[in-house]
Chains A and B, each alone.
Chain A
Amino acid sequence: DQQVKQNSPSLSVQEGRISILNCDYTNSMFDYFLWYKKYPAEGPTFLISISSIKDKNEDGRFTVFLNKSAKHLSLHIVPSQPGDSAVYFCAAISMDSNYQLIWGAGTKLIIKP
């Protein structure tokens, strides 16, 4: 049973435009949601997070939106840059489970010049 789902394996966006990556979850007990970015042959790096009590968090070009009623979150990247090409993972934490991260399968973002 996948608790965190990323239904788009890949996404291609023109440089300068907005990239929107989506994530759905099933467990309403998650406390935090996170986005990680991963380049080939490297470990994932933390990008941005949002608490379950908020609906938006912004950090520079990156904004995460949380819709609890729909159990859906999205990551917006504006404007998209070539260096944003990577695999993006959505993950969720429940503090009751020793902060274990539950991961989606990832979305490969390709920024076209």
Chain B
Amino acid sequence: NAGVTQTPKFRVLKTGQSMTLLCAQDMNHEYMYWYRQDPGMGLRLIHYSVGEGTTAKGEVPDGYNVSRLKKQNFLLGLESAAPSQTSVYFCAIRTGTDTQYFGPGTRLTVL
């Protein structure tokens, strides 16, 4: 998954703690996305960005905030983590009309 990196790869939080997930790209693409994947379900879009300084809500935005201060970076924040936010989080960039390129994922557990 060269070109899109996600930090950290794993994290365990306690309920109420906060954290920020970082997605970084080195391909200069405008569109970036944050998804979550839960067992038995497809990926669900949390937030996305169509360019530096822009963000928009996806299908499941509640409990998350995002920022795109630099074109290369898209940050996903959890202000007060809840067990329902235990999931695998994927960042993606739009590389063509019909394709997105994904990072390796961050596995988050909230106790």
Q: Which of B4, B98, B102, B104 contacts A34 (CB 8 A)?
A: B98
Are A100 and B90 in contact, with the CB atoms below 8 A? no
Is the CB of B77 closer than 8 A to any CB of chain A?
no
Number of A-B contacts (CB under 8 A): 61
How many Å lie between the Cα of A42 and that of B19 in the bound state? 22
Known: A43-B103, A44-B90. A103 touches B42 (CB 8 A): yes
Are A43 and B102 in contact, with the CB atoms below 8 A? yes
Residue of B nearest to A100 (CB): B45
Are B98 and A44 in contact, with the CB atoms below 8 A? no
* Interface residue count on the B side (C-beta < 8 Å): 26
* Interface residue count on the A side (C-beta < 8 Å): 26
Is the CB of A25 closer than 8 A to any CB of chain B?
no
Are A93 and B105 in contact, with the CB atoms below 8 A? no
Are A100 and B48 in contact, with the CB atoms below 8 A? yes
Q: Given the complex, which residues of A lie within 8 Å of B40, measured CB to CB?
A: 9, 105
Interface residues of B (CB under 8 A from A): 1, 4, 31, 33, 40-45, 48, 50, 56, 58, 90, 92, 94, 97-105
Interface residues of A (CB under 8 A from B): 4, 6, 9, 31-32, 34, 41-46, 49, 51, 89, 91, 93, 95, 98-101, 103-106
